[in-house]
């Protein structure tokens, strides 16, 4: 339930209701009711956008305009597996001021209303021994893979997860596409994840393949659903999620299929924009 408090200048609880006072109150009430539909919608609904599902083909100007317009109707959050610096590259350096929530690393680094809200640590959760065993296994496995190209930053250590890239995150855009096309045919990442699941069975680790060149590793429950625990504390009646990797094994699957969200599968930025127009502006 949304409660509305309508302050009216010149009217107090001990004051006689003169005609001028009543007129002032009615004018204030009409003004408040005229904005009720937009305000109530904004308070009742939250819209969480996966970064990779709609940013790639957009310019920063288009993104900023879209987010500003969307925020007039709903509370807006963005979630991504990448760290905050990468999200800033995609959405602009002032992204935490552009939206109501920013969830970097699946929400393990969370911002609300422009302020840092919380940070989780995979190192503290896993412990150094398991962490080193995992990293060593990954390095040995990748040493046995022959690829057209290999570059640098094969394991990226983040606050709430590890990101593993067989080709290396420092590859060029052309090399990224080359690896992705090969991965589609030979299932390089899928086989890698299968080997990790077997080696570290029972260790409380989850794996999520997303993007074009890497996969994420994190403690069970630290996928994108983690951000829902933050959003639901604000008591929205509906949480909409928009993502592209929504099939089992994709890094949007868990949050997309979570009963706390209304999931929308999108394939491109235009698809996301169209759905938002239908849902929140019609």
In this prediction the pTM is: 0.70
Mean pLDDT check: name the lowest of 5-9, 65-69, 94-98, 195-199: 5-9
How do beta strands 155-157 and 115-119 pair?
unpaired
Binding-site residue positions for alpha-D-mannose 1-phosphate: 158, 169, 176, 214, 216
Binding-site residue positions for Mg(2+): 244, 256, 258, 261
| Average pLDDT of span 244-256 | 89
Per the CB < 8 A criterion, the answer to whether 102 and 115 are in contact is no
For 186-230, how does the pLDDT look when each residue is reduced to its tens digit (9 = 90+)? 999 999 999 999 999 999 999 989 889 999 999 998 999 999 999
Topology of the domain covering 42-120+222-280: Rossmann fold (3.40.50)
Tell me the DSSP string of 101-115: EEEEGGGTEEEETTE
Q: How confident is the model at residue 54 (pLDDT cuts 50, 70, 90)?
A: low
Q: Where in the chain is the domain with CATH 3.40.50.1000?
A: 42-120+222-280
Binding-site residue positions: 158, 169, 176, 214, 216, 244, 256, 258, 261
Supply the mean pLDDT for the chain.
83
Per the CB < 8 A criterion, the answer to whether 110 and 103 are in contact is yes
The distance of Cα 117 from the centroid of its chain, to the nearest Å, equals: 15
**For residue 197, how many C-alpha atoms fall within 13 Å in the half-sphere facing its CB?**
13
Q: Which CATH number is 122-219 given?
A: 3.30.1240.20
| pLDDT (0 to 100) of residue 92 | 85
Residue 178 pLDDT > 90, yes or no?
yes
276 membership: H or E segment, kind and range: helix 269-280
* CA angle 175–176–180, rounded 5-degree value: 115
Residue 38 pLDDT > 60, yes or no?
no
Per the CB < 8 A criterion, the answer to whether 141 and 195 are in contact is yes
Query: Higher-confidence residue: 67 or 126?
Result: 126
Q: Where in the chain is the domain with CATH 3.30.1240.20?
A: 122-219
Residue 45 pLDDT > 70, yes or no?
yes
């Amino acid at each position: 339930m949304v409660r509305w408090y309508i302050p009216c200048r010149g009217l107090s609880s001990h004051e006689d209701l003169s005609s001028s006072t009543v007129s002032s109150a009615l004018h204030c009430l009409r003004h408040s009711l005229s904005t009720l539909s937009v305000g109530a919608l904004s308070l009742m609904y939250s819209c969480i956008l996966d970064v990779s599902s709609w940013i790639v083909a957009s310019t920063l100007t288009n993104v900023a305009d879209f987010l500003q317009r969307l925020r007039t109707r709903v509370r807006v959050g963005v979630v991504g597996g990448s760290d905050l610096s990468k999200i800033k590259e995609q959405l602009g350096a002032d992204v935490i001021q552009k939206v109501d929530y920013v969830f970097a690393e699946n929400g393990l680094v969370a911002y609300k209303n422009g302020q840092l809200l919380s940070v989780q640590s995979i190192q503290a959760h896993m412990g150094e021994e398991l962490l080193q065993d995992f990293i060593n296994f990954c390095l040995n496995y990748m040493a046995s893979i022959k690829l057209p190209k290999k570059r640098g930053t094969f394991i990226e250590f983040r606050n709430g997860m590890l990101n593993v890239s067989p080709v290396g995150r420092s590859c060029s855009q052309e090399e990224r596409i080359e690896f992705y096309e090969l991965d589609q045919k030979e299932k390089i990442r899928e086989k890698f994840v299968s080997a990790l699941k077997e080696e570290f069975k029972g260790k409380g680790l989850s794996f999520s393949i997303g993007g074009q060149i890497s996969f994420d590793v994190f403690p069970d429950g630290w996928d994108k659903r983690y951000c829902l625990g933050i959003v639901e504390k604000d008591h929205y009646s509906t949480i909409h999620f928009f993502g592209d990797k929504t099939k089992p094994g994709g890094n949007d699957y868990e949050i997309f299929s979570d009963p706390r969200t209304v999931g929308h599968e999108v394939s491109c930025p235009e698809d996301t924009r169209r759905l938002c127009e239908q849902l929140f502006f019609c």
